[in-house]
Amino acid sequence: MHKFQPGQFAMLGHKSMRAEAHPFTIAGGDEMTRRFVIRTAGDWTDNFVKTVKVGDRFRLGRGVGRFLPQIDSQRKEQFWVAGGVGITLFLSALERMQPDVAARVTLIFGIRSRASAGVIEDVERHARRLPQLNLIVLSDDRNQGLTPPRLTQIIRDMSEDTQVYLCGPQGLKNMIVRAWAMAGMSGRIYSEHLDFRGAYGMEHVNYIFGPILDAERHVKLAVKRPLLTSS
């Protein structure tokens, strides 16, 4: 089975979907297993969830992508921001991270409600296991949504060169970029985007990755380019 790095995704196909496969973030796994968290958000995923059963065989591609949160003890301070299903990009990083006393990692996990967040218990379990992880769960149904004043309060105690890894809706991304620039932070904000419309294989996927805020605090536009596969 192909190796992967935390934060990467892979193409996943099923016999019921014929030739078509879709990219999904690898949420965890070891040398012999892979874990995916799949939300029904269209015809393909709806049919997939209804059709798949225990014992089925799948077509699984290699891990690809460059959204790679740093989890070793040499990392800089990091700020991970996940909105809803965006948490999947961080699950394998949490799984692989070992307890240490190195730079702090602050994770904001924004959810609609605990009932709707299927992996909340997994995330909280990792928070108890990892002393370097500062977990902040913000639930909309408890009037705890992320607001600009709340965000400013959270980042106030972070080091200036803290790195940000961000996965969530565009409104959340815009809020983070504005707050980061206004606070005078120099650390880069990393995000990625997949455009799979009309694609039937990895070579057809439009992939965007890069810093959306550079060290000079000027907004940068990531450029579409062919996706490079990793070994």
Distance between CA 91 and CA 87 in Å, rounded?
Answer: 7
User: How does strand 163-167 pair with strand 133-139?
Assistant: unpaired
Query: Please, which pLDDT band fits residue 18 given cuts at 50, 70 and 90?
Result: low
Residue 76 in this model has a pLDDT that exceeds 70: yes
Residue 151 in this model has a pLDDT that exceeds 70: yes
Instruction: Compare 128 and 204 and report the one with higher pLDDT.
Output: 128
Query: Please, which pLDDT band fits residue 219 given cuts at 50, 70 and 90?
Result: very low
Q: What is the average per-residue pLDDT within 164-186?
A: 91
Percent above pLDDT 70 for the chain: 80
Instruction: Compare 59 and 116 and report the one with higher pLDDT.
Output: 59
Look at residue 144 and tell me if it is in a domain.
yes
What CATH number should be reported for the domain holding residue 111? 3.40.50.80
**Is 0.85 topped by the overall pTM?**
no
Interior/surface letters 174-211, b for 16+ CB within 10 angstroms, e for the rest: ebbbebbeeeebebbbbbbebebeebeebeebebbbbb
Q: What is the span of the domain harbouring residue 189?
A: 78-195+204-213
CA separation (Å) from 49 to 38, 52, 176?
8, 6, 33
Look at residue 84 and tell me if it is in a domain.
yes
Range in 3-7, 109-113, 193-197, 219-223 the model is least confident about: 219-223
Look at residue 191 and tell me if it is in a domain.
yes
Number of domains in the chain: 1
Look at residue 69 and tell me if it is in a domain.
no
Look at residue 83 and tell me if it is in a domain.
yes
Instruction: Compare 142 and 46 and report the one with higher pLDDT.
Output: 46
Look at residue 180 and tell me if it is in a domain.
yes
Look at residue 88 and tell me if it is in a domain.
yes
Query: Please, which pLDDT band fits residue 152 given cuts at 50, 70 and 90?
Result: very high
Q: What pLDDT does residue 142 have?
A: 72
φ, ψ at 70 (rounded to 5°): -85, 125
Look at residue 53 and tell me if it is in a domain.
no
Residue type, 104: R
